[in-house]
């Protein structure tokens, strides 16, 4: 039986020093003793929540871009750009364990665009048509950012899957 003491190291540390196993194969209880849950399933949960959140963000960006030139919406008013509000998923006070879409809000800060089109049937008395407050350049930047974040989280999920697969083959 292993006993702690000066100069003694635990079985996990000894195995790691002898290159028999990597840190991912150390039992989760070793990390839980110091307050960290290192379960690979938790990593997949976090990456999955990020994939869901970024997918919603991409849908909102696509909607904004599709309506960038829409003069009126279903309510008869010009389309307002929408933004996704994220919030961390907290399982403990120490650290976030994922992300969720808190809500989708309309951009009420950016002013609506006004174009002078006196022949347009939707023009006001001065000949101006109210256009959406969608900034196409900002939306493209937002799309690229969401896409990169999505790709990074796919890579996290794939790496975690590889680690889990290798951990399963350790005993063979």
pLDDT tens figures, 68-94: 998 887 777 899 999 999 999 887 767
pLDDT tens for each residue of 101-115: 999 999 999 999 999
Question: Where residue 136 falls among pLDDT bands split at 50, 70, 90?
Answer: very high
Axis-axis angle for helices 40-66, 136-168 (nearest 10): 160
More confident of the two residues 148 and 13: 148
CA separation, residue 75 to residues 33, 61, 72, 107 (Å): 57, 21, 8, 17
Could you give the CA distance from residue 83 to residue 130 in angstroms, rounded to a whole number?
20
Residue ranges of domains in the chain: 26-157
């Amino acid at each position: 039986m292993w006993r702690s003491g000066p100069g003694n190291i635990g079985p996990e540390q000894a195995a790691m020093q002898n290159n028999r196993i990597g840190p991912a194969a150390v039992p989760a209880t070793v990390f839980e003793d110091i307050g960290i849950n290192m379960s690979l399933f938790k990593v997949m949960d976090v990456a999955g929540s990020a994939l869901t959140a970024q997918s919603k963000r991409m849908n909102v960006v696509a909607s904004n871009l599709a309506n960038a030139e829409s003069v009126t919406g279903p309510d008869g008013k010009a389309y307002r750009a929408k933004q996704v509000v994220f919030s961390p998923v907290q399982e403990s006070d120490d650290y976030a364990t994922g992300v969720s879409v808190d809500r989708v809000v309309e951009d009420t800060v950016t002013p609506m665009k006004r174009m002078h089109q006196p022949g347009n049937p939707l023009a006001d008395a001065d000949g101006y048509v109210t256009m959406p407050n969608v900034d196409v350049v900002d939306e493209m930047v937002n799309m690229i950012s969401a896409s990169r974040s999505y790709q990074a989280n796919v890579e996290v999920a794939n790496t975690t899957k590889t680690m889990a697969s290798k951990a399963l083959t350790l005993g063979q």
